[in-house]
Each structure stands twice: as C-alpha cells, then as structure tokens.
Structure 1
Amino acid sequence: MLEQGIHLISTDEMTGIQALERLFPNKRIKPKQVEKIEFEYERHGTLSLIANWDMARGKVVSPSIGPTRTEQDFSEHIQRTIKIDEKAEWIFIVDKLNTHKSESLVKLVAESCEITIDLGRKGKEGILQSMDSRADFLSDESHRIRFVYIPKHTSWLNQIECWF
C-alpha cells in the first residue's frame, strides 16, 4: 500500500501513564554487583499517549502526549499526523471510542479532502447528527482520509495495542 501512496495507520490511546521522577540518581554498576535503582519517587500526575503504528514501516509515527484525551486532542493528533504527507491517502484503524467519531474529526476530514457539502448540525441533522452518521462519513472509502472501525472486543486486531 505504501508504494501506492497509502498510509495504513493503527491508532489508539493509552491513558493513565504515571509521570514519575526518581528522587535520587541510580547507583552506578560496579564489578560483580548489580545496578542499584532508587525506589523513592515523586509523582507528577498522569498523562495520556495517542500513538500511531505505521503498518508498512513497522514503527510508531507522530505520537502525542498530553494531560487529556478529548475529542479535540484526538482531532489535533490526526491533523498533525496527516501533515506528514498532506496529499497522500490515509487509512486509520481505530476502535469505536466516541472521540474517534467526533464532530471535529468530521470537519477535519471534510476540510482536508475538500468536501464542501453541508455537514448538518451535531445532534440535529445531516452527517453530524449522530455518532453513527459521523462514523459512516469517516469510513467512506471515497475519501482520501478515512477510518476503519474494528469490531467491539477485538482490540487485539489494532496493532498499536501490541506496542503498548
């Protein structure tokens, strides 16, 4: 697929990553002794990681780390990712989390693919009406940027999970 200019990307979030700082440096290794690792640490809260696994290259690309994992965070993450190769085709493999079917994601795909139709209003009408209608739009195979939603209880199909 990569030779055809198509990026196949497995994407997901890992939340609740503890940000820890050791209070003292580790003791250096000496001959015939093991390294001594400081066990006391200071907590600095938790962070969320949004990561992409490039299926063709076999590596993580364009990760995002922040204090939250909101609709806006995910949309901005996808926007940064597609800027790597703005004119290419992108296929994102994701689970069915609500942030993967958001209003801001629909607007991003529509703008990036130069789709000028009326998207409607969130919760009222058109493409933005419901998560199902947004998912249908985002998974449309005619779009240069699209999302493939894995079935419920099959997170093992999403290759980024192996990296986590």
Structure 2
Amino acid sequence: MLPDMILLEKGIHLISTDEMTSIQANERICPTQPIEPGRVERNEFEYIRHGTQCLLANCHIAKGQIITPSIKATPTEVDFLQHIEQTIDTDSDGGWIFLVDQLNTHKSESLVRLVAQGCGIQTDLGVISNPVASE
C-alpha cells in the first residue's frame, strides 16, 4: 500500500499546496460563433483584459482531488492563513500534512502560530511581537 493511502487510513491528509500566479482574466469582445454546416466554430481573437488573479490550490495526494481552492488578486499572509484554515475545517478532527514551497507567506508568523496551536505547542516560538529597532 502506498504511504499516502496509509496516512489517509489513519485519518491524516497529505496535501500539496501551491499558487498559480498571474492568471489573466480575459473577456472576448464578441461571442463565439457556433458550428454551422460547412463552417467550423469561430472564436474571437480580440479580448478585454480584466487584470490577473492568483489561484491557491490544494491537491489531496491520496484522493487525487483539488480541495478548497481560493482565488485572490494578490494573496497576502492573511489570505494564505485563511486558505489553510478553510482546508483544515473540512476535517477538523483529522491530521494534516501540508507540502509547500519556500514562499514567504508559507512560513509566516501567523502560520507558525496556527500550526503550534493545532499541535498543542505552548512554548516560546521565538517570535518577537514588538521588535525594538536597533541603533
């Protein structure tokens, strides 16, 4: 049996999380022309740009499914934290392992505090709440 399936049987979810940035939100100027006898479907090549969006997605490794996707204009530390909380809320009694890259929001103070709370860690996390600027 594969390790991800063993984890799932034990109630632990293995999740790969990543961001797809700069997804263009475009709108075609004219509607698509349907297929007609002797003519193929035709799509307008000109479009109106509506900026870009970012997709935050979780792939549940054992199930092979995307779960709790989020779309934001420019995700922040708070957005990523809410995304992870939303994912955990799908099975609050289960265990969670998240695989993430080294993006700064993936190792933020708020995320460290969430993980510590979920693991019952109450020791000093080495986070300075109000750092004093050194001279």
| TM-score of the two chains, using structure 1 as the length reference | 0.70
Q: Is the 8 A contact 1:103 1:122 kept in 2?
A: no
Tell me the amino acid that sits aligned with residue 103 of structure 2: L
Matched, 1:49 2:61: no
Structural RMSD (CA) = 1.9
Q: Is the 8 A contact 1:48 1:66 kept in 2?
A: yes
Pairwise CA distance, 1:124: 8.5
Task: Tell me the percent identity.
Answer: 58
Structure 1 gap segments, 5+ residues each: 126-164
| TM-score of the two chains, using structure 2 as the length reference | 0.84
- Corresponding position of 1:71: 77
2:89 counterpart SS class: helix
- Corresponding position of 2:43: 37
Structure 2 gap segments, 5+ residues each: 1-6
Give the Cα–Cα distance (whole angstroms) in 2 for the partners of residues 107 and 62 of structure 1: 21
Pairwise CA distance, 1:118: 3.1
Structure ID, larger Rg = 2
Pairwise CA distance, 1:120: 3.7
Residue 62 of structure 1, aligned match among 57, 63, 68: 68
Q: How many residues align?
A: 125
Pairwise CA distance, 1:73: 1.5
Q: Which 4+ residue blocks in structure 1 deviate beyond 3 angstroms?
A: 122-125
